Amino acid sequence: MLLKEALRVAHLLLLGGNARLYHAKGYLLLMLHAHLPFVRHEGYERSFIEENWLNEAILETYIPMLRVFRNLKSENVPFKITMSFTPTLSLMLVDPYLQDRFRQYLDNLILLAQKETKRTVSDSHLNHLSKKYLDHFEDTKQVFEDLKGNLINGFLPFVESGNLEVITSPATHAFLPFYDSEPSILRSQLRNGRRTFKRIWGREPKGIWLSECGYFPKLEDYLDKEGFRFFFVDSHGITHATPRPMFGVYAPVEVGNGIFAFGRDQESSKQVWSAIDGYPGDLRYREYYRDIGHDLDFEYLKDHLPSSGIRVNTGIKYHRITGKTAFKEWYQPDWAMEACGNHASDFLYNRARQAEWLFKENKQPAIIVSPYDAELFGHWWYEGPQFLEFLFKKMHFDQSVVKPILPLEATRVLPRVQSVKMQMSSWGENGYADVWLNGSNDWIYPHIHALSIEMQAYAHRYQGAKGWQRRVLLQMGRELLLLQSSDWAFIMKTGTMVDYAVRRTNLHINLFLRLKNMLDTGTCEEEVLDGTEAEHNAFPDIQVEDFC
């Protein structure tokens, strides 16, 4: 037994796993998926409130996440985290128009917070909270301007130091299992996903976050052609594979072409995701649904609301969850921080216990994969970024059973990786495609398939086209990619903001048809082409060949 163990250690060292990695009984692969659909609406008198999705995410998630990384780095905590930045999000983060929109959004919030410090002067607790918000907004402005509005530059140092692995996704977050019969959709989504990422992040992505974790057999052939080496699936993507994986989701599997799949650990997911007993539901945490944008007098707020005059969340929230009652108590930041520390301890304790049990059973370290939507941390769960900071600090200072790890390191730390064949799966409700295919949204798929077939035919017919015909063809490609975003189907299913998703879907189809008509009639509608290119300026380096 001792000899066997010694051989295994030697094997690990030969494989590149260093001694420090080997000494852990388990590794936490924390994966945050950062995504927003392309919501850029330049040139309108009445602003689109959907642009606030990006503003809110920058304010509440992306910049707080940067602060966490900086804090960890300054304290020499060796954190490791994987983040997917989808191409649509990356495009928006470097877009000068949207950067200016964020400046306007933040300046408006600073004015509102200043007003709040005066309004609340007679209530010491509320006044304290309003000043905290003002500090937070002003510090956010400082961080944003230090980076000249480009958050990518804030994340890159952590990529270069090896603390952060960034990966991409399909170009517009298309749900790929629906397009297994249309290779041109798969190619154009994957190629533009990789190309956009490389242009913006200055490096090739080693892995990809499959939109909604949507996998289907043979997808690995397309991933291989685009140079991706790993991706993530939900638990049953791994556990239902054939032959049955020996270590379940606690080791990556090879699915063909040397591509690795990582499966979600359910226990750690549940502790954060669960609507019933997940950490974010703790009564001491900030209540998301009580916001002064809805609570205060309209006259007081009106100068700070969008030009359409409708009430929106401002991000200034004074209540804590309190309980399942309409009555909400004031938010107590100290109580929330205490809860956050306890939850980080609990999460780590459970991972350590889990890792020890799995190590005993498997005789090799467990790779515990915990993927979450990045926007859960900070936007939905206000204290989420602080939870992550506590977690990494505790992981480093308080124990040595579990260590953080990045995906390709995980494949090296294990003695060998099993090869399997996986079947279709996703991480949506019920684990398959029900969310993106049902009576509320199934009408979009005949359009997507029909237009994609048309696009492929036109890409062949006009492959060598120049001038306006080439511009038209490329814009047809952009409209098609934007149409394929899984977000529209998701919103239609959730039942809120449906109007926007339907309008976006119709718009991209109609623009595609209008552009196609230009090619059919040999007539360039210059104003239409100019306007569409300017408004839907995603994927500037798209290629006709992507659709062939």
Partner 1 sequence: METHQKPPNDRAFLVYNAPGMQSHPDREPRDLLKVLVRNPKEVLVFWEISQQSFQRVLQGLGGSQPQEIGLKLLLKYKHSQGEGQDWYDLHPLSNAYYAKFLEPVSAVRAEVFVTHKGKISLFMETQGGDLPPRGPAKLLDPQWIHPIWRKEGQIQVLADGSAVLEKTPEAWKEYFDAFEGSFEGSSPSSSWGQR
Site for partner 1 in 360-379 (CB under 8 A): 361-362, 373, 375-376, 379
449-478 residues near partner 1, rule: CB under 8 A: 449-450, 453-454, 470-471, 474-475
Closest distance to partner 1 from the beta carbon of 357 (Å): 8
474-503 residues near partner 1, rule: CB under 8 A: 474-475, 490-491, 494-497, 503
Q: Which is nearer to partner 1, 162 or 202 (CB)?
A: 202
**Using the rule CB under 8 A, is 241 a contact of partner 1?**
yes
Residues 6+ apart with CB under 8 A from 101: 47, 51, 54, 55
Among 312, 408, 465, 524, binds partner 1 (CB under 8 A): 312
Among 47, 117, 266, 440, binds partner 1 (CB under 8 A): 266
Q: How remote is the C-alpha of 414 from its chain's centroid?
A: 28
**Using the rule CB under 8 A, is 220 a contact of partner 1?**
no
Closest distance to partner 1 from the beta carbon of 162 (Å): 28
115-174 residues near partner 1, rule: CB under 8 A: none
327-366 residues near partner 1, rule: CB under 8 A: 354, 357-358, 361-362
Q: Which is nearer to partner 1, 172 or 532 (CB)?
A: 532
Asked if the bond preceding 37 is cis, omega within 30° of 0, the reply is no
Among 8, 42, 287, 296, binds partner 1 (CB under 8 A): 42
**Using the rule CB under 8 A, is 177 a contact of partner 1?**
yes
**Using the rule CB under 8 A, is 281 a contact of partner 1?**
no
Among 429, 460, 461, 523, binds partner 1 (CB under 8 A): 429
Tokens matching residue 483: 């149409």
Phi, psi torsion values for 105, nearest 5 degrees: -60, -45
What is the DSSP track for 403-416? Answer: EE--HHHHHHHSS-
Q: Is 529 left (phi over 0), alpha (psi -120 to 50) or beta?
A: alpha
Closest distance to partner 1 from the beta carbon of 530 (Å): 6
Residues 6+ apart with CB under 8 A from 511: 475, 479, 532, 536
Q: Which is nearer to partner 1, 8 or 470 (CB)?
A: 470
**Using the rule CB under 8 A, is 106 a contact of partner 1?**
no
Q: Which is nearer to partner 1, 133 or 163 (CB)?
A: 133
**Using the rule CB under 8 A, is 254 a contact of partner 1?**
no
Among 138, 224, 254, 533, binds partner 1 (CB under 8 A): 533
Among 13, 75, 380, 400, binds partner 1 (CB under 8 A): 380
Residues 6+ apart with CB under 8 A from 304: 108, 109, 111, 112, 314
Q: Yes or no: say if 459 and 544 are a contact pair by the CB < 8 Å rule.
A: yes
Among 153, 463, 510, 523, binds partner 1 (CB under 8 A): 510
Among 21, 32, 36, 134, binds partner 1 (CB under 8 A): 36
Count of Cβ atoms closer than 10 Å to residue 334 Cβ: 8
Tokens matching residue 339: 């809860």
Rounded to whole angstroms, how far apart are CA atoms 484 and 444? 9
Residues 6+ apart with CB under 8 A from 145: none
Q: For residue 76, what are the CA distances in angstroms to 69, 70, 73, 153, 226?
A: 10, 10, 5, 21, 36
**Using the rule CB under 8 A, is 506 a contact of partner 1?**
yes
3-state secondary structure of 435: helix
Of the candidate spans 107-115, 140-148, 344-352, 432-440, the one that interacts with partner 1 by CB under 8 A turns out to be: 432-440
Closest distance to partner 1 from the beta carbon of 246 (Å): 4
Q: Yes or no: say if 138 and 110 are a contact pair by the CB < 8 Å rule.
A: yes
